A = this chain, B = another copy of it.
Amino acid sequence: MPNANIAFLNDLLQSIGSRMRPGAVSKSSALSAEARLAEGCGALMRLGGEASQVVVAAQALAAFAELDDTAKLRFFQSLLDDYSADPAAIRAAYAAWESTQSEEDLEQLFKAVEPRRQALLRALNQAPGATLQLVRMRQDLLRLMREEPGLAPLDTDFSHLFASWFNRGFLVMRRIDWNSPAAILEKIVSYEAVHEIRDWDDLRRRLDPADRRCYAFFHPATGDEPLIFVEVALCQGIPDRIAPLLSERTQPGDEAPDTAVFYSISNCQPGLKGVSFGNFLIKQVVSDLSTELPPIRNFATLSPAPGFARWLSSVDEAEAQALAADLATGLWQTDSEECERLAPRVEAWAARYFTQAKTPSGAPADPVARFHLGNGASAHRVNWPADLAEGALKRAHGVMINYLYELDQIEARHEAFANDGTIACGPDMRRAVKAGTAPSA
Q: Is A210 on the interface with B (CB-CB < 8 A)?
A: no
Residues from chain B with a CB closer than 8 A to the CB of A109 are 90, 113
Which residues of chain B have C-beta atoms less than 8 A from A172's C-beta?
Answer: 1, 4-5, 220
- State A131–B170 Cα separation when bound (angstroms): 9
* Cβ contacts under 8 Å, A114 to chain B: 110
Per a CB cutoff under 8 Å, which of B8, B48, B153 touches A284? B8
Name the B residues within 8 Å of A80 (CB-CB).
103
Q: For the complex, is A106 an interface residue (Cβ under 8 Å from B)?
A: yes
Report the minimum CB–CB distance from A107 to chain B (whole Å). 5
- The answer to whether B101 touches A87 (Cβ under 8 A) is yes
Whether A183 pairs with B173 at a CB distance below 8 angstroms is: no
In the complex, the chain B residue whose C-beta lies closest to that of A22 is B408
Segment touching B, from A174-182, A328-336, A388-396, A425-433: A174-182
Q: Considering the chains assembled together, what is the distance between the CA atoms of A375 and B173 in angstroms?
A: 38
CB < 8 Å neighbour of A283 from B51, B204, B279, B282: B51
Question: Do the beta carbons of A173 and B19 come within 8 Å of each other?
Answer: no
Q: Quick check: is A26 within 8 A (CB to CB) of the other chain?
A: no
In the bound assembly, the distance between CA atoms of A353 and B87 in angstroms comes to 44
Interfacial chain B residues near A101, Cβ < 8 Å: 87
Q: Mark A110-130, 1 if CB is under 8 A from B, else 0.
A: 100111000000100111101
Using C-beta atoms within 8 Å of the partner chain, give the interface range for chain A: 35 or more
* Inter-chain contact A182/B180, CB cutoff 8 Å: yes
Q: List the B side residues contacting A152 at CB < 8 Å.
A: 104
A372 at interface by CB-CB < 8 Å: no
Whether the pair B169, A127 counts as a contact (CB closer than 8 A) is: yes
Distance A84 CA – B14 CA, assembled complex (angstroms)? 47
Q: Is the CB of B49 within 8 A of A131?
A: no
A123: min CB distance to chain B, Å:
9
Please name the residue on chain B nearest to A189 by beta carbon. B200
Most buried by B among A49, A87, A152, A290: A49
Closest B residue, CB atoms, query A152: B104
Within 8 Å of chain B (Cβ to Cβ): is A37? no
Q: A103-B115, A165-B165 are in contact. List 18 more A-B contacts (CB 8 A).
A: A8-B287, A12-B287, A15-B291, A20-B408, A20-B411, A21-B408, A51-B410, A54-B283, A84-B103, A103-B154, A106-B153, A125-B168, A128-B169, A161-B164, A178-B183, A179-B182, A182-B204, A186-B200
- Chain A to chain B contacts (Cβ below 8 Å), 10 pairs: A14-B291, A51-B410, A52-B283, A87-B101, A106-B113, A106-B115, A126-B167, A161-B164, A170-B170, A181-B182
Closest 9 CB pairs of A and B: A220-B220, A103-B153, A126-B168, A179-B181, A51-B283, A51-B279, A11-B291, A12-B287, A19-B408
